[in-house]
Amino acid sequence: MLIQNSTKQKLHRGEAVYGCFFRQAEPTLAEFVAMQGWDFLIFDGEHGSLEARDIEGLVRASELHGVTPIARVPSNQAHVILRFLDAGAHGIHVPWVNTATGAEQAVVAAKYGPRGQRGLAGSRQGGWGVTESLAEFTARSNRETMVIIHIETAEAAAAVEEYTAIDDVDVLFIGPTDLSHSLGHPGNPGHPEVRKVMEQVAEVVTASDKTLGIFAGSPAFAAEWLDRGARYFTAGFEGLVKQGINTYLTAVRG
């Protein structure tokens, strides 16, 4: 299949997009989740046990339903990013990027030349050289592959203006939980200090050509941050399942 990133296209049109973190190595379950209407799914290699070898089946499951497959890599290392993208992901979430140099490093790892230094070979993302030539594929991949950089530490928040100057970073993504931990208020993203930093990050990103992203576990939180200019929203599979189960059991048990 030719890589065609519908989520990136929607962002370019100014639309908001919604996705879900998923960390089970179960393509059938991933397909069911994809059928619910998400714009994208993020297959989680950081806070889950997913390896690059698990990604191919999960990618196929999401592509069947026009849902963009994205991978959260476990670390900002070129060989790790290469393997997750070669398995078919249309983009990468890169955690624990604390400097502009680190953000540039992620872009270079994700892009082919002349922008980057990603190693080139026949892979699933390029149809193994069957569906188009490698020259055509490298141009397409550079155009379609998304790079989402996490802002989840005090250091990253302080450097966010530098991040906005880096070409080919698509989304600057606030991770409220990790940011709260970094700021000394673990698990309390509503703390005034954490809120202040998040709002400062939002002001910088929304004034740039980058998309502001954020983890939003509830519709109310997503609506608030949509008003603040965010357009890339994620939730977590387990959290949504928990909400659904709790709602059901509370209702049936009175």
> Which residues are marked as active site?
47
Q: Are 171 and 179 in contact (CB under 8 A)?
A: no
d(CA 152, CA 177): 8
Q: What is the largest CA-CA distance in the chain?
A: 62
Number of residues written out for the chain: 254
Plot region of 96 (φ>0 → left; ψ -120 to 50 → alpha; else → beta): left
